[in-house]
């Protein structure tokens, strides 16, 4: 029995772990205390708030400060004189006193201020960079002083700085509606050219020059005007006489060719008119009389011919006479009077043309020409038309090949009595006549003067262009220099002196008489 009980005890001990692992009989676990976490410090980063720079506000405040400063400067210059800002140390007390005496004894009312560039500088000022930008530029600085004083006269402002790039410069202007004009612009240039950067010497030279009256050119030139006018008249007269003589010499040679040709045509046309039958018809009688009158006028004009104008008029009269014969023949035949047409190209003696044909001279290009009926028939039949031949230097040639010698002959025939002109079909003849007339025109005094003026303008434009390139190069090369009185600096500042900035001051300004601006 005891043995049996021991066996049951052993079994109970073996089964106890199994029963403990069963879910139905699991015991509640005892919580094990966890190790507390190690504490670490917490850092909180706060980003500062970005505030953008107020460029516009800074500029407005700087502009207002410059305006206020100029108001104070104007208050110091109620009377003519020189005022120097206490911050400017380049002028001694004795020098300022001497300048004041010179200004008050000057013929022109002057007000001169010497101010530091920083007083009117509105440029951006940053931590790492800054640039100088004055509230006004050039002559406008001096005009701002005039606007606040409100009295006509000469105003000058010398801006003090270490270099031109920092704003150093001399600016002056004269405002006046009446009274004399002074050499203010020249005074600025002379003062800077001779004396920069010595402030006392600059202002002394300026005061001396700026009170000199700028007289109109004609006043100084009046004593010489008579002599110059006399020389001009002599030159004009001499050139005109020379041109007239040269043209008469040419026309004399032309008369030697054209007069025999026209005289021959007058004789032939006179015989043709004399053979006209008498008539009692009033219209026919009037046409016959008109033709006879035209021939007689041509005869008298040719007898008195002295130049190309006379021979051209004779040819026009002969063309009108031949047109009158055509009109007379139409009336006799009971036909309407035809419209006037240019003469027959091959020979003006054939009378007015009736049709146009295509024709090419020997070795030339084909062209359209107006011809009479007989010549048109020959061209259509491939026959040589009857061409007006003129003998010159023992050689007979078509009249249109003598472009210059017979230019008046062709001009007269291809012109009606009322001034209407027809197109002459030969291009070479037209060019020869145009070249002759152009040569005559170029010899006149007016043409020579015009050519001289054009040549002078071209030369000045070329020089100005080359100077502008040189100026650009000089400005690039000298950008680092502190001051200079050279010509390249003058050209650069002359542009800025004409620039006017917007700003305060009087809304009504007297006229600007003279002014100048130079950096140095």
The residue written with tokens 């491939």 in the block is: 382
pLDDT of residue 202: 94
Domain ranges of the chain: 55-197+499-519, 236-442
Average the pLDDT over 75-93 and give the result. Answer: 93
pTM: 0.49
Supply the DSSP string of 301-321, one letter for each residue: HHHT--SHHHHHHHHHHHHHH
pLDDT tens digits, one per residue of 420-477 = 889 999 888 989 988 998 888 888 888 888 878 877 778 777 776 665 555 445 544 4
CA angle 250–255–261, rounded 5-degree value: 140
Q: Which of 402-416, 444-458, 499-513 has the lowest mean pLDDT?
A: 499-513
Average the pLDDT over 464-493 and give the result. Answer: 46
Determine if the peptide bond prior to 398 is cis (ω within 30°): no
Q: Answer yes or no: is pLDDT of 503 > 50.
A: no
The residues, any chain, with a CB within 8 Å of residue 365's CB and separated by 6 or more, are none
CA angle 283–288–291, rounded 5-degree value: 125
pLDDT tens digits, one per residue of 353-381 = 999 999 988 877 888 999 999 999 999 99
Percent of the chain with pLDDT over 90: 50
CB 247 within 8 Å of CB 300: no
pLDDT tens digits, one per residue of 96-144 = 999 999 999 998 899 999 999 999 998 877 655 577 889 999 999 999 9
Q: Answer yes or no: is pLDDT of 17 > 70.
A: no
Please classify residue 291 by burial: count the beta carbons closer than 10 Å to its beta carbon, then call 0-12 exposed, 13-18 middle and 19+ buried.
buried
Give the pLDDT band of residue 500 (cuts 50, 70, 90). very low
Please classify residue 308 by burial: count the beta carbons closer than 10 Å to its beta carbon, then call 0-12 exposed, 13-18 middle and 19+ buried.
buried
Percent of the chain with pLDDT over 70: 79
Phi-psi group of 138: left, alpha or beta (phi > 0 → left; psi -120 to 50 → alpha; rest → beta): left
The residues, any chain, with a CB within 8 Å of residue 418's CB and separated by 6 or more, are none
Q: Label residues 32-50 b or e (16+ Cβ within 10 Å = b).
A: eeeeeeeeeeeeeeeeeee
The residue written with tokens 């005496």 in the block is: 101
Element (H, E) at 508: none
Give the pLDDT band of residue 39 (cuts 50, 70, 90). low
Task: Please write down the long-range contacts of 74-79, taking CB distance under 8 Å and 24 or more positions apart.
Answer: 74/145, 74/148, 74/149, 76/113, 77/111, 77/113, 77/145, 77/149, 78/149
Average pLDDT, the chain: 82
């Amino acid at each position: 029995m005891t043995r049996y009980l021991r066996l049951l005890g052993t079994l109970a001990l073996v089964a106890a772990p199994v029963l403990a692992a069963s879910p139905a009989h699991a015991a509640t676990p005892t919580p094990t205390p966890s190790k507390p976490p190690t504490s670490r410090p917490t850092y909180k980063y706060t980003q500062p708030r970005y505030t953008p720079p107020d460029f516009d506000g800074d500029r407005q405040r700087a502009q207002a400060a410059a305006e206020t400063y100029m108001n104070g400067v104007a208050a110091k210059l109620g009377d003519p004189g020189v005022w120097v800002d206490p911050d400017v140390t380049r002028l001694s007390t004795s020098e300022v006193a001497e300048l004041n005496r010179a200004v008050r004894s000057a013929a022109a009312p002057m007000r001169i201020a010497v101010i530091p560039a920083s007083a009117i500088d509105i440029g951006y000022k940053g931590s790492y960079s800054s640039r100088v930008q004055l509230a006004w530029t050039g002559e406008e600085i001096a005009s701002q002083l005039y606007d606040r004083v409100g009295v006509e006269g000469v105003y000058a402002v010398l801006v003090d700085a270490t270099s031109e790039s920092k704003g150093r410069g001399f600016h002056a202007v004269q405002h006046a509606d009446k009274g004399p004009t002074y050499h203010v612009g020249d005074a600025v240039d002379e003062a800077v050219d001779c004396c920069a950067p010595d402030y006392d010497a600059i202002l002394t030279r300026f005061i001396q020059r700026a009170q000199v009256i700028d007289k109109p050119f004609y006043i100084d030139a009046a004593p010489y005007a008579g002599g110059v006018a006399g020389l001009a008249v002599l030159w004009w007269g001499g050139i005109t006489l020379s041109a007239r003589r040269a043209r008469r010499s040419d026309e004399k040679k032309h008369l030697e060719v054209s007069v025999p040709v026209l005289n021959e045509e007058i004789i032939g046309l006179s015989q043709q008119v004399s053979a006209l039958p008498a008539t009692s018809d009033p219209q026919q009688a009037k046409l016959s009389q008109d033709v006879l009158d035209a021939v007689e006028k041509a005869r008298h004009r040719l007898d008195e011919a002295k130049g190309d104008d006379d021979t051209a008029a004779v040819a026009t009269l002969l063309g009108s006479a031949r047109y009158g014969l055509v009109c007379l023949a139409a009336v006799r035949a009971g036909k309407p009077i035809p419209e006037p047409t240019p003469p027959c190209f091959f020979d003006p003696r054939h009378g007015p043309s009736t049709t146009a044909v295509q024709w090419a001279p020997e070795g030339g290009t084909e062209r359209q020409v107006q011809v009479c009926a007989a010549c048109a028939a020959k061209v259509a039949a491939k026959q040589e038309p009857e061409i007006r031949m003129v003998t010159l230097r023992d050689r007979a040639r078509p009249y249109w090949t003598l472009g210059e010698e017979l230019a008046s002959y062709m001009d007269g025939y291809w012109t009606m009595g009322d001034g209407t002109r027809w197109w002459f079909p030969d291009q070479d003849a037209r060019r020869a006549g145009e070249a002759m007339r152009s040569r005559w025109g170029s010899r006149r005094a007016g043409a020579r003067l015009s050519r001289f003026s054009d040549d002078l303008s071209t030369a000045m434009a070329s020089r100005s262009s080359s100077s502008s390139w040189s100026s650009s190069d000089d400005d690039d090369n000298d950008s680092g220099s502190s001051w200079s009185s050279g010509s390249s600096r003058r050209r650069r500042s002359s542009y800025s002196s004409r620039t006017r900035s917007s700003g305060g001051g009087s809304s009504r300004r007297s006229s600007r008489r003279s002014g100048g601006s130079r950096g140095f």
